[in-house]
Structures are given as structure tokens and as C-alpha cells.
Structure 1
């Protein structure tokens, strides 16, 4: 993370919202870089190298999802959508493009700050293919293809491990149904979420003390799944 004050790029065309976000973030020891348009935001992202981006979808010069796509072409910086668009399809599209989180306007200051802290914390976790990911009592050795829970080895099928591996490589990030289906089963199966539900249920049965409690694999209804953000990389 850059310096003592994390740098937050705020891409928001509404001057009142932009001012509110600037005052709120500044009062909580964040350095704010404001931008009114998508193009200005992308330009500042390349020159200033912020630690996170707060992005509105309804920009005057381009849709916010285009900004996500442009940023994701070269950066893994955390992107939090702050938008009045609350339709499920809008959220899914933003997550599919690479957004890390979605906060719907109007929002509570406490919720926004908590989500920003989580995004900055998760961005420190750079998970490579040769790492071991730990989530509480769950340990995933990505190289040895070995999974243990409370030091007991868990037998997983190749597809179960492939699904868990994708979740582990993006620990803490919400992955959409479409993304998971594409990565594990291929393009021909992206619309068939039944496979995904079955394998998630099987993983929970093998990994969770209480499969109904979502200790490790968390469900965001209608959108996707994430491996709990408390993952530690060794």
C-alpha cells in the first residue's frame, strides 16, 4: 500500500456525492483523488497509482463497466462500485467485469468504510499458484493438490478441487456464477448453474462443520460465491 495514507481514486460525476465522499474519506485518513469522468479517472489511475477506486457506473462520457474493463487490462487494484443502479443484472455485470464490491446508493458511511477497509486488506493477499491458502481450520495446498480441515486430509474429486482452487486464488473476492462455470466447466456450461450448486454443496459437506453455516464458502444469492476473506497466504 502506498505511503501512510491509502490513496483512493473517486470517479463520480455528481459534485455533491463527490464532495461527500471526499470529506468522509479525508476525515478517516485517506488521501482522495477526485475525477468527474471515466477518461479522467483512467488517466489518474495510471499516473497516481491509487490503492483503491470508488467508481460510479453512470458517468457522462462512458459506462462505469468500461472503466472497470480498462483498469482490469493492466491492474488488480480494488474497485468498489458506488451506484444507484441496484438491479441484480447490473451487479452481476460489474462483478463479471472485475469489480471487487458493490455499494448501492444511498449508503451508510459505516458500511462504505468497512467495505473499503476489507478491499484494501484483501488486496495485500497476492495468491500465486504455488501458495498455501489458510482459512481458519481449512488449509489448501495449491501445488500438492492437498486439502486439510483441522489437520485431517479431505479427499476431493478433480472438479471439486478445481472449483476450490479458483475460489482460493481469489480469496476474499466475490466470483460470479458465470465466472466460476467458465473457469471450471468451460464456455459450453456457463448458463448451467445446477452443476455449480451441486459441487458447492459437495464441498461444503466435506469442508464445513455445519454445511448450512457458510464458514468457508460464502454465498451471495443470485450473484456468486467467495472464499472467506480471512484467508492467510503462506
Structure 2
């Protein structure tokens, strides 16, 4: 039974989360301050920490950095801050994932399961995803196209990785908002459009002349089919 530590100063939210997690078979504990959370993370050795950033005594970023200094326990950050710099900051500080408030307990459970699955895999390095001449290395957060590194910001990389891991599938903008932007209750699809445009430019293509990133009108987007596995797999002949 996984042990979850919830560090959240909102008493009502904390109680609701703990009640739902208990109903779903998780053990756990909850605290309302950063200092108590740090002590619990070290002394109780939970399997995963859900950490709020807006704590009354210590900034959540500082708590995350202190946890990381002494432990590799997985941390999911829950925050009301949805600006890109704040998100980049928590990931750079060592968070394994993040959620933007408000979020459903169902979404939190899904992210807990996903993080715990990665831990259960023994920390083995995820193999790079290959789509045509595109290589996306999630572990190293590095992507190359025909051997040339792509200069992607964190959001562009997350977007490309999500699409690459679903190569050949049509992905809706609503799904991208939920899974890449962590905004399950809706958001500006224009944000997705802008980032897709930037990504296309860095892939050296346009919406009018796509090679890897295809728009499916009225549905979403699709990254080109992955290569066939096996010894016969090879990059296609791209010569005109």
C-alpha cells in the first residue's frame, strides 16, 4: 500500500484529498506547513509527496529544494501558479510532476499512479522515442532531428515528447491542455496553437507543408508514424 504525504495548508482541501486517497487504497499523512512537511518527508519515508507551493511558513520552492538535498522521494507539486516560469522553476528544482489548481482528485490519482509506475520500474532509463529522423530522449530532455539538436524551451519539449510518445495518433488540443499544460478544466486553445507553430518552425516545416507534425482539421494534431521496429527499420529516403 503506497504511503502518500500531502503538504497543503488548506485544511478542507487537505482533508478531502486524504479521504479520497484512503478510499482508493492509499495510506498517508498530511501536514499544513512546509517545515512539518520536510520533517515528515525525511522521517516517515513516504512513497510520494504532494507539495503545495503556497505554504504559510516556507515557500514551497524552498521546501522542495530541501527535500531534494536529502531524499529522492518523488514529489508532485500542486500550485495555483500557472505561469511558465513558475512551472519551469519547480521542475528545475526537482519536482517529478505538477498540477495547477483547481484540479480533480481523479487527476491527482492518475499522476500519482504514473509517477509510482516510473519508480516501480526501478529507475531504469526510458529508451528514446524515435519518429522518422526525430529522436526524443525524455530522460535527458533532449531532442534531435536528423542528428541535429533542437533548441526547445521546456514547454516545447514537453509538447514534442507527448506527441512523440503517441506517434501516429491524433491528439486533441483539449488533451494537450490537460496533459501538457495541466489545465483539465479548459483553457485557451490559442496557447496550444502558438506553441505548435513554434514547434513546427523548429522542426523546419510549416502547417502548409508538414513533414512530421500534421493538423487533422477539426480534431487535433498528429506526429508522423514511428518507424517499423526490427532489423529492417531504417530512416526513410527523404531525397526528392
Give TM class, smaller chain.
0.5 to 0.7
Q: 2:44 aligns with which of 45, 48, 60?
A: 48
Q: 1:133 to 1:59 in 2, by over 3 A?
A: same
State the structure with more CA Rg: 2
Q: 1:33 to 1:199 in 2, by over 3 A?
A: farther
Q: Secondary structure at the match of 1:73?
A: helix
The answer to whether the aligner puts 1:37 opposite 2:42 as a matched pair is no
- Alpha-carbon contact 1:42-1:71 (below 8 Å) kept: yes
Distance 1:210 1:155 in 2: 11
Match for residue 133 of structure 1?
A: 127
Q: 1:102 aligns with which of 82, 98, 104?
A: 98
Q: Would you say how many aligned residue pairs link Structure 1 and Structure 2?
A: 171
Q: 1:155 to 1:69 in 2, by over 3 A?
A: closer
Q: What whole-Å deviation, never above 9, does each CA across 1:9-66 have from its counterpart, x for those lacking one? A: 1001111111011101111101111111111111111111111110110111100011
Match for residue 65 of structure 2?
A: 69
Q: 1:214 to 1:59 in 2, by over 3 A?
A: farther
Q: 1:96 to 1:47 in 2, by over 3 A?
A: same
Q: Structure 2 unaligned runs (5+)?
A: 138-143, 151-156, 163-178, 180-197, 205-210, 215-220, 225-240
- Alpha-carbon contact 1:81-1:101 (below 8 Å) kept: yes
Q: 2:10 aligns with which of 8, 14, 24?
A: 14
Q: 1:48 to 1:94 in 2, by over 3 A?
A: same
Q: 2:88 aligns with which of 86, 92, 106?
A: 92
- Alpha-carbon contact 1:57-1:64 (below 8 Å) kept: yes
Q: Secondary structure at the match of 1:9?
A: strand
Q: 1:20 to 1:123 in 2, by over 3 A?
A: same
- Alpha-carbon contact 1:77-1:123 (below 8 Å) kept: no
Across the aligned residues of Structure 1 and Structure 2, the Cα RMSD in angstroms comes to 4.2
Q: Secondary structure at the match of 1:32?
A: strand
Q: Secondary structure at the match of 2:87?
A: helix
Distance 1:32 1:134 in 2: 34
Q: 1:198 to 1:71 in 2, by over 3 A?
A: farther
Q: Secondary structure at the match of 1:133?
A: coil
Match for residue 203 of structure 2?
A: 201
Match for residue 123 of structure 1?
A: 119
- TM-score, scaled to structure 2: 0.56
Distance 1:61 1:104 in 2: 21
